[in-house]
Structure 1
Amino acid sequence: MRPLRQGAHVYRSNMKPYLHELRLTEFKTFRDATLPLGGMTALIGRNSSGKSNALDGLEVLSRLAAGTDIVDALDSRRGDEGPLRGGIEGCPPHGTDRFSLGCTVFPLRSEPSSYWIVQFDVTIQVRPEPEIVSETLWGISGHKRSTKNWLERFRHKLLATESASPGSGSIDATWYTGRPGRSPRAPFRSSRLLTSQLALRLEGRNERERAVLTAAEDMLEALRGVFHLDPVPHLMRQYVPGRDIRLRRTAENLSAVIGHMATHDTERFRQLLTRVQNLVEHEVTGIEAVRSDLNDVMLALREGPAITPAREMSDGLLRFTAIATTLLRQGRDLDLGGRDTSDDGKSPMLVIEELENGLHPSQATQVLDLVKQATVDNSARVIFTTHSPALLSALSSEDHKNVVVCSRDRATGLSNLRTLPEIDGYPSLMAQGDLGTIITSGLLEQAPPRERDFSEFDRLMGIG
């Protein structure tokens, strides 16, 4: 997103806008599904149930929030991200040529004129040329609007498309001014999010315009902070420039990141060493960044008098070290590609698929503890997928409200999302054992409908 024009002003604060939910309105295997996003969200389900599709929806919005063209954002092979899984053509549900996504952001601002909740929805047509055919930005605040519809008095339509001219590269839209009957209308480029273009239309000359600009920036900021961590062990076994200290999604520059931690963030570096020591059976006395004559670095473990470089470490150890480093730093100093933002108190959303991959079941508690530590005080937000019974069993009953079960309807082929406590027969299931045991036995898919009042059990479990 381009900076505001000279003279424009947007309210800023040290609060952290964050994603509250993702709406998969029409996307891949989803229709009218909602993924709630807590401080820690565990997404579970069988293979091919739609978990990766849901995370792809989050990735799509995050890439588009950078303000780049749709094709460049989703199909480009440049940079670490590469093309989206399945590309643009893989986004619409089967038999359609368009897809729709949305999200809700909580800006957490204290100014009386600011919006408490920001909602965003977009529909993109992929053929013949990818372009936006509908986009809406809503804001909910204490600023009352004059309207006969009382439901809309505090809900303002900040931006809305009016008409599209397919193939023209343009789409008309209006924006909110706070004055009845005074909504300006102008053409926007249909090849990128209109919300990212608002700063070119509004100069922030009055309180309402500034509030609209702030709401748009809060939404874009929250989406740009999504970071999909996908450590690739074989890429971590090479020397990397010592200055390359913003962690990439593949963690290929992990050696430089840890080398920087050793001198600039000694407390977290010490915690990382402890975590690694607890992970392995043999004695590890230190973590080092071995430097070449050109100031390139490679991660190494000191094991008594011997040194084991990254090229000799196991895949599981390297992957765990990358995840632990990211979580201990609470998602700071990430390489977000074209979505880079400064670390000025923002709350990143870390996405980690198969969190337990490469780890022994006995380490489930340790990695879960790292996730919880990262999300303390909303410092970061983490969504992860897992198939590990040990990790699921390590979740407390309080954590269950943040477990989202993804399933797929055999008749329609559509994916569904429900929080664990919403599953029919949840209390009776929990009475049969821990979550890992229930998942392993297949009881979750066979959950019976509720026939009795389990409210007292819910209260005892702390989920009432």
Structure 2
Amino acid sequence: MDSPGTRPTVTELRLSSFASHRGGAFGLGPVTLFAGPSGSGKSTVLQVYEALARLGGGAELAEAFPDPGGCVPEGAGEDAEGRRGFRVGCTVNGPVGTVRLDLAVQAEPELRIVGERLTSDGHVLLSTALRDPGRSRVQAAWYTAGDAAVTRAPLPDDRLGTALLPLRVAGSTDGQRRVLAAAEQVVVALRSVFPCDPQPHRMRAPVLPGEGRLRRGCDNLAAVLHRTRTECARRHARLAAVAREGCAGAVAGVGVEELADGRLRAVLGRAAGRRATPLERLGDGELRFLALALVLLTGPGVLAVDPAAEVPGALQSLTVLADGFDRCLDGGQLRELAALAGSVCAGGHLRLVGAVGDGAAARSIEGVTVVDLVP
């Protein structure tokens, strides 16, 4: 994947038959917020994205879909063999063009991938099918374009075949190299994901220094701030400016205090002559606001993700998944965060897919797409 300029990115999610969704196809821009009331299926969209990301990273199917019965479309009956399942997929744009990945998953009586298809420009590069239900294998066929049009071999039925292709395809023909490039583009895009759900009740306690990569729940916020204020001075200053808009009172800066026992406590600096406010005294909304702003202003070097080492950083794009993006926030805080996301994600290195109850506050912000879901 050495073509310059285009970063592999997931540009569409398909929930063809999944939970409450049937025939769902959702385009994804630099910032996409799924909006709707409880039960509208917005969190389900993010669930599918994260599941595909796990599969792209080599996880087993049961890790990606821990509750497979809940993934089966509502009201779906069993076939003659007592089987039920679901279908999901995505489209990835990048250096090799547009690549589609589609999965058919059997959820009951046992969880397994029964069909996978990887296509590019209408050409099938990989297809798998369950031939013998008594074996934990699918029959795979991938494009060769050599002496034989395709190569056939068994693959495990609990892993994404696309992610296994680099271990199976030699790359000795133009066809094989095309298959490898398409598979790599999909895997790189899917792996580059940071699910984020700040937990205020865990963010208030002081933390030990040394761990400078922000975790999913942002409970080590103070340790990360201790790192960013020295390594990323410009972005840290921007975080302080954002904090002034989303936190109560006059904010002079965002800092870290070292306690007598060596632990670190994050604080909001105040005006001259006023004592700093420990973050533990802030409300849940202010804590979530600060954590999400920090996520948007940092990157793979600070967030706890495993970027694809085989692809230069300049050609990667990290996607932040933020379910409950507006949880505990008021309208002003949501607008400020959405505006920050639109500004940061315009550069292409970062993308955001989030879920909100009401997208009205973000609807008119440049660079932000709000997708309304109806129960």
TM-score norm. by structure 1 comes to 0.73
Does 1:98 find its partner at 2:85? yes
Match for residue 54 of structure 1? 45
Task: Give 3-state SS (helix, strand or coil) of 1:90's partner.
Answer: helix
Distance 1:281 1:35, change over 3 A: same
Partner of 2:126: 159
Counterpart CA distance in 2 for 1:366 and 1:199 is: 42
Equivalent pair of 2:362/2:370 in contact (CA under 8 Å):
no
Residue 65 of structure 2 aligns to a residue in which SS? Answer: helix
Q: Of the candidates 111, 124, 128, which is equivalent to residue 109 of structure 2?
A: 128
The 5 Å alignment of 1:70-219 reads 70-75=61-66, 87-94=67-74, 95-96=76-77, 97-107=84-94, 109=95, 115-140=96-121, 155-179=122-146, 181-219=148-186
Query: For 1:229 and 1:208, how far apart are their aligned partners in 2?
Result: 38
Tell me, yes or no, if structure 1 residue 248 matches structure 2 residue 215.
yes
The answer to whether the 8 A contact 1:231-1:319 is kept is yes
Candidates 28, 38, 41, aligned match of 2:32: 41
1:225 alignment partner in structure 2: 192
SS in 1 for 2:313: coil
Q: Relative to structure 1, is the Cα distance of residues 32 and 171 closer, same or farther in structure 2, using a 3 angstrom cutoff?
A: same
> Matched residues in 2 for 1:283 and 1:190: separation?
57
Residue type of the alignment partner of 1:18: T
Extract unaligned runs of 5+ from structure 2: 78-83
Tell which structure's C-alpha radius of gyration is larger.
1
- Distance 1:294-1:203 versus aligned 2 partners, 3 A rule: farther
Q: 1:32 aligns with which of 23, 26, 40?
A: 23
Match of 1:269 in 2: 236
- How many residues are aligned here? 363
325-334 vs 378-387, which deviates more?
325-334
**Cα distance in structure 1, aligned partners of 2:261 and 2:98:** 50
Aligned equivalents of 2:114 and 2:11: distance in 1?
25
Structure 1 runs not aligned, ≥5 long: 1-9, 76-86, 110-114, 141-154, 409-464
- Give the AA of the match of 1:319: R
Confirm or deny: 8 A CA contact 1:327 1:374 kept in the other structure: yes
Partner Cα separation in structure 1 for residue 155 and residue 247 of structure 2: 56
Corresponding position of 2:351: 381
Change (3 A) 1:292 1:216: farther
Check conservation: 1:19, 1:103, Cα contact below 8 A: yes
Query: How far is 1:41 from its partner?
Result: 1.4
Opposite residue 9 of structure 2, the aligned amino acid is Y
**Other-structure match for 1:235:** 202
From 293, 301, 309, the counterpart of 2:278: 309
Deviation at 1:283, TM superposition (A): 2.5
TM-score, normalized by length of structure 2? 0.89
CA distance in 1 between counterparts of 2:276 and 2:137 reads 60
Alpha-carbon distance between aligned partners in 2 of 1:49 and 1:199, rounded to the nearest angstrom: 38
Task: Provide the C-alpha distance between the structure 1 equivalents of 2:363 and 2:128, rounded to a whole number of angstroms.
Answer: 47
Q: In angstroms, what is the RMSD of aligned CA positions?
A: 2.3
Offset, 1:243: 2.6
Specify the alignment match of 1:348 in structure 2: 318
- The share of aligned pairs that are identical, in percent, is 31
Greater RCO, CA 8 A, separation 6+: 2
- CA deviation profile, 1:87-121 (whole Å, cap 9, x unmatched): 222111133521111110001x2xxxxx3111100
More strand per residue: 2
Q: Give the secondary-structure state (helix, strand or coil) at the position aligned to 1:240.
A: coil
d(CA) in 1 for partners of 2:116, 2:163: 11
